């Protein structure tokens, strides 16, 4: 397995790196993960090769051409790595906020249709 893959304990470090980055790669990253109007998201698999090579070679040449090669463990971090972490973080946060908005909208719609005979405060009888 490639030693450049991130381990789970490295994920909080990506969030810290994102704070140092710019939005230079954010639009490119939005092409990789797209939000659908119904709350789903689509991943453009032309960037990935999990279906063919799994974890041995997870990225296709298209990903490497767009975002650069994986950083080796002893290689120093650069502004490019910060920008890539920023793009990942902002995409993740946007998706999460989008899904929460859809869930709240759906809950409000359900609450508007379903009338509860006894309110939650009345049921508790404190």
Minimal CA–CA distance to 12: which of 114, 81, 96, 85? 85
Beta bridge partners of 33: 43
Hey, which residues does 48 pair with through a beta bridge?
59
Residue 121, pLDDT score: 46
The residue with tokens 């304990």 is: 9
**Calpha distance 94→110 (Å, rounded):** 24
pTM, full prediction: 0.63
Long-range Cβ contacts of 118-124 (<8 Å, 24+ apart): none
* 39/60 Cα distance (integer angstroms): 27
**In the chain, domain spans:** 8-124
| pLDDT tens-digit readout, 8-59 | 455 567 777 788 888 899 889 889 988 777 667 788 999 988 776 666 778 8
pLDDT tens, position by position, 72-110? 888 888 899 899 889 888 887 877 777 777 677 666 666
Query: Measured between alpha carbons, how far is residue 9 from residues 43, 88, 105 in Å?
Result: 24, 17, 35
- Check residues 119 and 28 and name the one with the higher pLDDT: 28
């Amino acid at each position: 397995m490639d030693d450049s893959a991130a381990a789970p304990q490295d994920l909080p470090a990506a969030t810290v790196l994102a704070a140092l980055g710019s939005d230079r790669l954010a639009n490119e990253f939005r092409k990789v993960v797209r939000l659908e109007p119904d709350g789903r998201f689509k991943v453009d698999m032309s960037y990935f090769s999990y279906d063919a090579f799994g974890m041995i070679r997870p990225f296709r040449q298209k990903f490497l051409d767009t975002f650069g090669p994986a950083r080796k463990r002893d290689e120093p971090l650069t502004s490019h790595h910060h920008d890539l972490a920023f793009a990942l973080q902002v995409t993740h946060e946007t998706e999460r906020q989008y899904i929460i908005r859809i869930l709240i909208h759906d809950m409000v719609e359900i609450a508007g249709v379903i009338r509860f005979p006894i309110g939650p405060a009345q049921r508790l009888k404190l």
